[in-house]
Amino acid sequence: MDSNTKARIQTIINSSQIMVFMKGNKLMPQCGFSNNVVQILNSLGMNYETFDVLSDMEIRQGIKDYSNWPTIPQVYVKGEFIGGSDILIEMYNSGELREKLEIALAS
């Protein structure tokens, strides 16, 4: 991944406290896994932004290298990668996600 793509990714990540790299957008998720994340964040009433990786192949591939995570969606909270669909579901079900987000957003 070239430095320009990396810089673009960092800018996108830092543009919102919660940033979701997904297929599609909040209103029209284009993939079941991306939809899982949108539904979870909506149900927690969180403010978050999204980036549609289907609109930018450089970011779509770059984000996988950036976090060493080969799948989409990817969720970042205050710049930290916290997981994809599976992990968000598991953290949501255990209550850990709400706690982690509230702590991160409060600080």
Partner 1 sequence: MVKSEDIGTAIKRLLPDAQVSVQDLNGGGDHLQVDVISSSFAGLSLIRQHQLVYEALKKELATEAIHALALNTSTPKENT
**Footprint of partner 1 on this chain (CB under 8 A)?**
31-33, 68-71, 81-87, 90-91
Question: Distance between CA atoms of 4 and 52, rounded to whole angstroms?
Answer: 18
Least CB distance to partner 1 at residue 33 (A): 7
Minimum CB distance to partner 1 smaller for 52 or for 83: 83
Least CB distance to partner 1 at residue 24 (A): 15
Question: Distance between CA atoms of 44 and 39, rounded to whole angstroms?
Answer: 9
Minimum CB distance to partner 1 smaller for 7 or for 103: 103
Tell me how crowded residue 56 is: count the other CB atoms within 10 A of its CB: 16
Least CB distance to partner 1 at residue 81 (A): 7
Q: How far out from the chain centre does Cα 48 lie?
A: 9
